[in-house]
Chains A and B, each alone.
Chain A
Amino acid sequence: MSNSFGMTMVEKILAAKAAKDRVVPGELVNVEVDLALGNDITAPVAIKEFKRFGLDRVFDPEKIVLVPDHFTPNKDIAAAEQAQVLRHFAKEYGLKYYFEVGRMGIEHALLPEQGLVRPGMIIIGADSHTCTYGALGAFATGVGSTDLAAAMAIGEAWFKVPATIRFEYNGQMPEWVSGKDLILLTIGKIGVEGARYRAMEFAGSAIDSLPMDGRLTMANMAIEAGGKCGYMQPDQITFEYLEGRVDRAYTSVYSDSNASYESTQIFDVSKLEPQVAFPPSPDNVFPVSDAKGIELDQVVIGSCTNGRIDDLRAAASVIRGKKVKEGLRLLIIPATQQIYRQAMEEGLLADFIDAEAAVSTPTCGPCLGGHMGILAKGEKALATTNRNFVGRMGHPESEVYLSNPAVAAASAVAGTIVHPGEVLS
């Protein structure tokens, strides 16, 4: 094979699974999938479609994951019935990975934690934030319910090979600046369609030292720039994260040094301020100092973007010994049972409860305006989630700002959006 021009990590993974020497952007490929995911909103649609095939088995009961996380613990009768569809299907088809309430978590925090994500895999999920798993060097992307149905039947999916944009972040990040701020900065710069249909490769010295939780946050929000996937190439931090979680061999895949990128964006992050996305779009991004003084009714710390242990640690370190501002609600939602337990053992939950925050069992809940923290008309919230579209957290005339967990915690104490440094000084 000629090596005159190389391939990116994503091109290599797609080529390997399509049994080809090489693929080029724009090419349509049919590939085997290593994992297919659905939740209580999307899987019922997929299951209905799947039943139309009249099959008595799925392509592989160990490669399908069902997680009821959006409207669970069941928020009403309709939600209960949707969750029941998953439960019955998992039992009927002998699925290995069905995560019941009490053992579950928000899908995109849960799958990496449970060791189901390995470098080099192709993962599709009927949920747009499936792109999260790119942080572990996998090709992972959101699809629709019909794609999930097809994958459950034949274990394949079709893709157009995406062109890749490389994003390089250089310099040492200041205190209180996190992966969330890098990705908000990026989306603010390129816009909600800036990476439409593209793969986003995250690299640079700031990424090399970014802990896995921050990497997961960044890959999670690739979709908010329109990206098909976002990824970091596997390194020591990846291997340490995988250690003790995965019980199977995997092959790490890396971009060639002569890979061709559609474009490259370079950021110096050494003087970066925490970032805030103003309503009604995740690309409406400003430094936190420009958001100073905006009054809040609710603060939410959780979601598949920022509900992991590092996020809770950052929030607790700001709020410890302080109280949530009177008249404001602070909701803390650890993303998985394991994170919940760890937060308990580290005393973080006590910090939150002492501060008079409400701590919830893992759920998507308010992130999509489902339940557990819906906003009334005219209310403003600051959330560590990923979307702030009109009506996302409740009433169409409510508003959502997005930030990192430390800014969110500080703002819950101040009652207005502030830099964590101001609350601590």
Chain B
Amino acid sequence: MILQGKIWLFGDNIDTDAIIAARYLSTTEPEELAAHLMEDVKPDFPGLVQKGDIIVAGNNFGCGSSREHAPLAIKGAGVSCVIARSFARIFYRNSINIGLPILECEEDFSWLKSGEDQLKVNLELGKIIHLQSGREYSAAPFPRFMQELIARGGLVEYVKTRLASR
């Protein structure tokens, strides 16, 4: 899968309260959650982010609570992919389980121009291209088991296959 979009830059340790504050958790609709995505960190973000955009962050993205509302809100906003230097484990797990592509990349991307620069991402190869400069970067591709989960459309589809084979 090839994704291409404008990037939005965030820092280290963006927690799930920052991604979607608890006061909005009384819904599970991705679109409704998306209306408040990153509101406490960047209040104008819900109005700026567009379908296909890519979130680029530092270390430990998605730390804090286990709320699946966080990747759901990101998916609901149409964000095509999240690239970070590292992810908190439950966030990582949740993203894969709901089919939100995420890539772990050691690279320091903090020099990118937020809301301007564009990246092109090849998920299978873990390849990232900065369109403005043509520079190429590599990210850790998914472990095989996770590729399988994604290929099957996430954990729900995986479980359906398991149930059908009983």
Contact = CB atoms under 8 A, between A and B. Distances in A.
Interface residues of B, number: 41
Q: Which of B22, B72, B94, B160 has the most CB of A within 10 A?
A: B22
A144 B68 contact: yes
B26 to A, nearest CB: 3
Interface stretch (A89-97, A202-210, A386-394, A410-418): A386-394
A123 to B, nearest CB: 13
Contacts of B162: 154
B18 A147 contact: no
A131 to B, nearest CB: 10
A53 B160 contact: yes
Contact of B98 (A52, A146, A154, A228): A146
Given A154-B163, A158-B145, A389-B18, A146 B94 contact: yes
B93 A150 contact: no
Interface stretch (A43-51, A320-328, A351-359): A43-51
B17 A390 contact: yes
A82 B156 contact: no
Contacts of B64: 128, 387, 389
B89 A370 contact: no
Contacts of A78: 26-27
A71 interface: yes
Interface of A: 28, 41-42, 44-45, 48-49, 52-53, 55, 70-71, 76, 78-79, 81-82, 125-128, 130, 142-147, 149-150, 153-154, 158, 192-193, 196-197, 226, 228, 281, 368-370, 387, 389-392, 396
Given A41-B67, A149-B155, A193-B59, 10 more contacts: A28-B143, A42-B68, A44-B28, A52-B156, A52-B160, A158-B145, A196-B89, A368-B22, A387-B15, A390-B40
A8 B104 CA distance: 28
Contacts of B23: 369-370
Contacts of A149: 155-156, 159
Interface of B: 13, 15, 17-18, 21-23, 25-28, 40-41, 59-60, 63-69, 72, 86, 88-90, 93-94, 97-98, 143, 145, 154-156, 158-160, 162-163
Nearest to A41: B25
A45 B69 contact: yes
Closest 7 CB pairs of A and B: A78-B26, A144-B94, A146-B97, A128-B66, A145-B68, A144-B68, A142-B66
A41 B155 CA distance: 20
Contacts of A387: 15, 17, 64-65
* A contact face: mostly helix, strand, loop, or mixed: loop
A192 B155 CA distance: 28
Contacts of A396: 21, 40
Given A42-B66, A42-B67, A147-B93, A55 B163 contact: yes
Contacts of A49: 156
A228 B89 contact: yes
Contact of B26 (A76, A154, A192): A76
Nearest to B24: A78
Contact of B17 (A53, A153, A154, A391): A391
B70 to A, nearest CB: 9
Contacts of A142: 66, 90
Contacts of B15: 387, 389
Q: Which of B40, B41, B64 has the most CB of A within 10 A?
A: B64
Contacts of A192: 13, 60, 63
